[in-house]
Amino acid sequence: MLIRRLADAPLQGRSISAPGWESNRLLLKSDNAGFSFHITRIVKDAELALHYQHHIEAVYCISGVGEILDIAKNETHEIKPGTLYVLDQHDKHILRAFEELQLACVFNPPLNGREVHNAEGAYELTAEEIA
């Protein structure tokens, strides 16, 4: 059994941030669960162009208000507490936070822990994951 506490993530080196967001990565690839689990904060007024080319992500909104734009379909969907969205087609999207968003995120394949978005808004795979 594995027990982790959100407050301990920064002390354990499991807190990553970049402009517009901070992710507390509670469960990672090294934990051997087959997915990673994160609590992510998107700052108010952030607009993030993202495209997870190598990962499927499920996101549940805990608090805050924003929207997600599905670029391929040119459809915008409101995000508010209780909303779940899944990027199951490696969907290119724009995430906007009208208020600070607190999100629970699951990634498959799991993240290693130190990833940040590349120029295309994706997380890179390791050489081992590519092979």
Q: How many domains does the chain have?
A: 1
Is 10 contained in some domain?
A: no
With CA atoms as reference, report the closest residue to 52 among 101, 82, 95.
Answer: 95
**What domain range is 73 assigned to?**
15-120
Q: What is the pTM of this model?
A: 0.88
Q: What's the sign of the alpha-carbon dihedral 125, 106, 75, 41?
A: negative
4-60 pLDDT per residue, tens: 999 999 999 999 999 999 999 999 999 999 999 999 999 999 999 998 888 899 999
Tell me if 75 sits within 8 A of 85, measured CB to CB: no
Q: What is the pLDDT of residues 70-93, one digit of tens each?
A: 999 999 999 999 999 999 998 999
Whether 9 is in a domain gets the answer no
What residues contact 13, with CB distance under 8 A and at least 6 apart? 113
SS3 114: coil
CATH no. for residue 55? Answer: 2.60.120.10
